[in-house]
Structure 1
Amino acid sequence: MTQTRGYALITGASAGIGAAFARELAARGHPLVLSARRVERLESLAQSLREAHRIDIQIIPADLAERDAPRLLCEEVARRGLGVDLLVNNAGYGVTGYFLSQPWQVQADFIQVLMTAPTELCHRLLPAMRERGHGRIINVASLAGHVPGSAGQTLYAGAKSYLIKLSQALHLEYGPDGVNTCALCPGFTYTEFHDVTGSRAMMSKLPKWLWMDAQTVVRQGLRAVDRGEAVHINGRVNRMIKSLLKLMPDRLALALMGRQSRRIRKKKPD
């Protein structure tokens, strides 16, 4: 990515994997467009990276749960004359609780942020990449997209699976034009994700060998998209989990996931 002269647009850049992408790309001299809802965090991150690496960093706050946000984000990028050659669709979160325990608007916002918004950003930014004959798209998916759905986060696995399939299709369609698309699929990663979902205490009991740090995930993702990988699962353990579940009969894999869900989320459905 160090040869690229355009900007990297990172959504959900205020924390976690998004912030790790910003730090890694800034260290490589890549100018950045950082977007998220939390403006104060974006400004703090941008200022520290400017001082450390002396690169241009633009901030465009956006709440991707708003239906017009992807369009307005791209229009502001164009208004500022910022050519984007790397799109990192990272914005995301988890909705805890069973499907009916949350109002429909909460579920609709989740679909908008994790599925509709990244798809629209790809659609709006891909034409210029294709015209230049060079571009990179990383859709941050998850190991969850490769395994059966679980109780307690009803839409999460489905949304991540969608990003994987979207990335594969875009890879086949526009890879020949010089635009590589990769679905990055980390497993358990040290970020604040589990603090937000209220599952930190439970997750801290898991063995350390299941976990990866965000910076390693990011570096592997950047290498994968440059190599032209349509899907990259981070870590040997995660690749082994995916392979084992794929070999199992669907009924058995689903039963195992159900058992694990009951261990993690003891609350009964509403």
Structure 2
Amino acid sequence: MKKFDALRVRKTILDMAFAGSTVHIGCAFSIVELLAVLYRNHLRFDRNDPHSASRDYMVLSKGHGVMAQYACLHEIGWLPDDEIAHYFGNGTRLKGLADAHVPGVEVTAGSLGHGLSVGVGLALGAKMNKTDQMCYALVGDGELNEGAIWEAALFAAQFKLDNLVVIVDVNGYQAMGTTDEVMSLGDIEAKFAAFDFDAVTIDGHDEAAIDSAYESLKARKNGRPKALVAKTIKGKGVSFMEHDNIWHYTRLNPQTYQAAVAELGAKA
């Protein structure tokens, strides 16, 4: 198994986006470190069996960021090179939104706001089965506009799901603008705390801080669900994509692909 190097994960995302002439690069880049550290150090899974009954759950409610998860599944070996090279092609199972038919993807997501509810159900099931399985559910900050997110949060607190970690990708943008322009979210950590979550805010690209936060949150068996509020940069890793929301829907051409790959190569 490879070691989930963030630069390599970003390179795989670029390769997929270019091969499939598809979008959502910026919002995949913002969650790379969050997923890489999770898969590398914290998420329990059987390398030989993606469907192992004892696995921890990784729910990507922010389904349009799925290239980042696919890149991690490629690191594990669950997605071969050939599938990555034919991303979004005719007949492929790798589509532009999270699809539960793909090994390692727990939830079909893309209709925002619903993945967290499934994650809450998985966490409750683990509690009822008296296992020590964790459920990590990654949501976008724009996704917090959806009322279903807060219904799920109420449910998680009611049933004391301290085996649930909600990871909030706070990159400050959603499809049509900044979150402040569309619907200001205020203090996200305080909002989750008001729903009786243990909540912390970190730099979502600082791998040491991410690692420490995961370790601390999953150790708190106190009857309270967890929220990891991660401040991130949309397009992180390629200078001309960072903080530029045009890369939510812009496709790579040969020139921008080569420029982005060159930047990543220069940092390696």
> Larger helix proportion, structure 1 or 2?
1
Give TM class, smaller chain: 0.3 to 0.5
Q: Which has the higher contact order (CA 8 A, sep 6+)?
A: 2
Choose 1 or 2 for highest CA Rg. Answer: 1
**TM-score computed with the length of structure 1 as normaliser:** 0.38
